[in-house]
């Protein structure tokens, strides 16, 4: 059985390793588009800040890791697939035949269609190659504009601040990281950044980028401001890498639509990770989560389905995020924005940048978000995913949401007693 995996990111590596675990005899080929060992985009900010070398971003540290496991890593970019002949065509026109195929091609950073976006010194921050360029250009005292205050934007703020650049963040939405924060929390993150000497413009759009004096750029906003910049970093969004699947007959929406076994609409083809539009645990809807834990879990589920068949359906993945914005740690889980008819418990301490917000449906935790919390944050996932009825603890959490760990433990213990009864 030859399993071919297109991609070499976390979903691909997770899938490959699980396949080997489930069936040691299977033949596995992992197709890596970038000419470096499989690495993690999550780790790039730490490379940017200088904490680690490029090797520090590698998904597996032993150079022979994949070889030792019997996983073939082949460098090359897939240009199309042919489900009829069950083969993948590469950019160099060579083909690889597969029995089962996993599409784990991830996503690519996009650039908004505005004038000047393709000028020199306007970069994404997505690949290791991008990171090298940014390191080269973000010199102390230089003017840097960061377009987009989403996850990627926020997470590289610290490394940019550490490089002592004059930083301006421009965000279209009315708050930072709008995909994981309500306005209270998003505004607190903005205040924190401003407090750290970063200029943050929210509800602001870049209209155009023009060549300025020398090598500098001039960035014009919809508020009429022109800001000089030596470097513009574009972190406005990503798009699933699905272009090469055109004509394959695979159902594609925002990403490759997958069912509860990570199967696509075409037999023997699966998808996982940032490219996959899978089921969300909380809503039951299908969308691209593009987060590390989901990529890994996708890979694991896909591996099972590909090796053992469609045995266990996935209940979907809990959307969750953790973000470190210049030292301010935020998390969000599940339906952090709440659900219709649900209850909300919220504590705000703007002065000390502490925030916690719990969302309930009846007495079940369905979503949560926090600022400044580092201890036992995982229990938010635990409570959401086990959908445990909280009973009397619901009221206690409504009164004081910081008692989350206690609520979790009380539930775990009750479960424990039930099991032994």
- For residue 312, give Cα distances in angstroms to 100, 258, 303, 316: 18, 14, 12, 12
386 binds another protein per the rule CB under 8 A: yes
**Under the criterion CB under 8 A, does residue 42 sit at the interface with another protein?**
yes
129 binds another protein per the rule CB under 8 A? no
CA neighbor of 269 nearest in space, from 246, 291, 250, 242: 250
The owner of tokens 């610290």 is 158
If one asks whether residue 377 binds another protein (CB under 8 A), the answer comes out as: yes
Residue number with CB closer to another protein (98 or 281): 281
Tokens of 237: 């969004």
Kindly tell me which residue out of 53, 213, 267, 375 binds another protein, with binding defined by CB under 8 A. Answer: 375
Smallest distance, another protein to C-beta of residue 16, A: 13
Which of 82, 346 has the CB closer to another protein? Answer: 346
Strand-pairing partners, residue 30, are 5, 73
* Member of 124, 292, 325, 357 binding another protein (CB under 8 A): 292
Helix (H, G, I), strand (E, B) or coil at 162: helix
d(CA 94, CA 379): 48
In a 13 Å sphere around the CA of 417, the CA atoms on its Cβ side amount to 5
> Is 25 a binder of another protein (CB under 8 A)?
no
The closest alpha carbon to 398, from 355, 348, 352, 360, belongs to 360
Determine if 266 is a binding residue for another protein (CB under 8 A): no
Tell me: does residue 408 bind another protein (CB under 8 A): yes
Widest Cα–Cα separation across the chain = 77
CB of 153 to another protein, least distance (A): 16
* Cβ at position 355, least distance to another protein in Å: 8
Residue 49 or 117 with smaller CB distance to another protein: 49
Taking CB under 8 A as the binding criterion, the range among 26-34, 102-110, 267-275, 406-414 that sits at the site for another protein is 406-414
Closest by alpha carbon to 230, among 300, 329, 160?
Answer: 160
Distance from chain centroid for Cα 329: 16
Minimum separation from the CB atom of position 128 to another protein (A): 13
Q: Are 401 and 365 in contact (CB under 8 A)?
A: no
Return the residue of 23, 36, 46, 283 that touches another protein, per CB under 8 A: 46
Residues 330-349 that bind another protein (CB under 8 A): 331, 333, 347, 349
Q: Which residue has the tokens 């209209």?
A: 207
Q: Which of 166, 304, 357, 369 binds another protein (CB under 8 A)?
A: 304
**DSSP string covering 23-74:** -TT-EEEEEESSSSS-B-GGGHHHHHTTSS-GGGGBSS-STTHHHHHTEEEE
Q: Which of 1, 21, 51, 210 binds another protein (CB under 8 A)?
A: 51
Instruction: Please state the φ and ψ torsions of residue 408, each to the nearest 5 degrees.
Output: -65, -50
Q: Which of 321, 357, 359, 369 binds another protein (CB under 8 A)?
A: 321
Is 302 buried (19+), middle (13-18) or exposed (0-12) by CB count in 10 A? buried
Judged by CB under 8 A, the stretch of 123-131, 229-237, 263-271, 372-380 that binds another protein is 372-380
Q: Which of residues 349-368 bind another protein (CB under 8 A)?
A: 349, 352, 354-356
Between 186 and 316, CB nearer to another protein = 316
Contact flag: residue 40 with another protein (CB under 8 A): yes
Q: Which residue from 35, 61, 214, 267 is in contact with another protein, where contact means CB under 8 A?
A: 61
Closest CA to 274 of 59, 151, 106: 106
Task: Give, in order, the Cα–Cα distances in Å from 342 to each of 6, 142, 263, 363.
Answer: 41, 48, 33, 9
Which residues would be at the binding site for another protein (CB under 8 A)? 10, 14, 40-43, 46, 51-52, 56-61, 292-293, 296-297, 300-301, 304, 312-317, 320-322, 324, 329, 331, 333, 347, 349, 352, 354-356, 372-382, 385-386, 388, 399-400, 402-403, 405-406, 408-410, 412-413, 415-416, 419-420
């Amino acid at each position: 059985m030859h399993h071919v995996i297109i991609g070499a990111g976390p979903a691909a590596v997770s899938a490959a390793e699980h396949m080997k675990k489930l069936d040691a005899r299977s033949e596995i080929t992992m197709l890596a588009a970038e000419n470096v060992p499989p690495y993690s985009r999550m780790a790039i900010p730490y490379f940017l800040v200088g904490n680690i070398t490029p090797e520090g971003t590698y998904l597996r540290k032993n150079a022979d890791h994949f070889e030792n496991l019997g996983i073939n890593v082949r460098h090359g970019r897939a240009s199309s697939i042919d489900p009829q002949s069950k083969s993948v065509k590469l950019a160099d026109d060579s083909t690889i035949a597969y029995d089962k195929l996993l599409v784990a091609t991830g996503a690519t950073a996009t650039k908004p269609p505005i004038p000047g976006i393709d000028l020199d010194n306007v970069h994404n921050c997505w690949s290791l190659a991008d990171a090298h360029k940014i390191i080269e250009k973000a010199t102390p005292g230089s003017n840097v504009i960061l377009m987009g205050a989403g996850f990627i934007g926020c997470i590289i703020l610290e490394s940019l601040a550490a490089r002592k650049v004059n930083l301006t963040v421009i965000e279209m939405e009315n708050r930072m990281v709008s995909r994981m924060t309500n306005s209270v929390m998003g505004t607190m993150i903005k205040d924190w950044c401003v407090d750290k000497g970063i200029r943050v413009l929210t509800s602001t759009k870049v209209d155009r980028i023009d060549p300025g004096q020398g090598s500098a750029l001039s960035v014009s906003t919809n508020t009429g401001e022109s800001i000089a910049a030596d470097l513009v970093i574009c972190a406005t969004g990503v798009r699933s890498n699905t272009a090469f699947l055109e004509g394959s007959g695979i159902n594609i929406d925002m990403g490759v639509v997958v069912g509860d076994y990570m199967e696509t609409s075409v037999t023997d083809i699966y998808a996982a990770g940032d490219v996959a539009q899978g089921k969300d645990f909380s809503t039951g809807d299908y969308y691209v989560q593009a987060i590390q834990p989901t990529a890994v879990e996708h890979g694991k589920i896909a591996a099972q389905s590909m090796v053992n068949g469609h045995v266990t359906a996935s209940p979907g993945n809990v959307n969750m995020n953790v973000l470190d914005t210049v030292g301010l740690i935020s998390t969000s889980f599940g339906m952090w924005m709440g659900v219709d008819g649900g209850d909300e418990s919220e504590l705000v301490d703007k002065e000390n940048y502490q925030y916690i917000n719990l969302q309930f449906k009846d007495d079940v935790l369905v979503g949560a978000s926090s600022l400044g919390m580092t201890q036992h944050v995982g229990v938010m996932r635990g409570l959401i995913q086990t959908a445990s009825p909280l009973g009397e603890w619901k009221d206690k959490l409504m009164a004081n949401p910081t008692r989350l760990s206690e609520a979790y433990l009380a539930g775990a213990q009750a479960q424990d007693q039930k099991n032994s009864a």
